[in-house]
Amino acid sequence: MLAKMSIQTDADLSAALRARGQRVTSQRLVIHRALRELERHVTADELLSAVSGRLPGVSLPTVYATLDLLEDLGAARRINAGGGALLYEAGGDEHQHFVCERCGRVEDLHTGLNARAALQAARNRGFEPHRADLVVSGLCADCASR
């Protein structure tokens, strides 16, 4: 398995795709660019809306397939906020998330927790983990004040 590299630009994504022997396509570049430009947690449907003007005829399955590839490369992160749609964000620093149980708001948490220890503990027990996520749920400040 290739090590994941920091992918912040179209050139970074192109290099990562080529290193894996995969094609650099306009759909992959535009979807990744839009994910970075949105600078928030988005659903695949929101991302489809954001790119449909630049990629006429693009489909939701193409967006999902591209997001899966971007996640595998470390260029995107999937967030399971519980109960709702899956959310995605541009890859980057490792962090956790807070999800409001009332309004569904998702915010980044930078706690200094390191998922590597949990992944290693799973390996030590015979698992083959792919990822570890911490999602804190409760009420956001706005909902808590109501």
pLDDT at position 28: 97
pLDDT given at position 83? 67
- What's the pLDDT at 2? 41
Asked if the domains 1-92 and 93-146 are classified in one and the same CATH topology, the answer is no
CATH numeric code, 1-92 = 1.10.10.10
> Rounded CA gap, 131 and 123, in Å?
11
**Taking the domains of the chain in order of start, what are their residue ranges?**
1-92, 93-146
Asked if pLDDT for residue 3 goes beyond 60, the answer is no
What span, in angstroms and rounded, lies between the C-alpha atoms of 91 and 89? 6
Q: Is the pLDDT of residue 1 over 80?
A: no
Amino acid letter, 109: L
Residues above pLDDT 70, as percent of the chain? 95
Provide the mean pLDDT of the chain. Answer: 89
Task: Give tens-digit pLDDT for 49-105.
Answer: 999 999 999 999 999 999 999 999 989 999 887 766 789 999 867 788 888 888 888
- Cα 33 to Cα 5, 29, 41, 63, 144: the distances in Å are 17, 6, 14, 12, 35
Judged on CB neighbours under 10 Å (0-12, 13-18, 19+), 90 is: buried
pLDDT band at 136; cut points 50, 70, 90: confident
* pLDDT at position 33 over 50: yes
Mention the CATH class of domain 93-146.
alpha beta
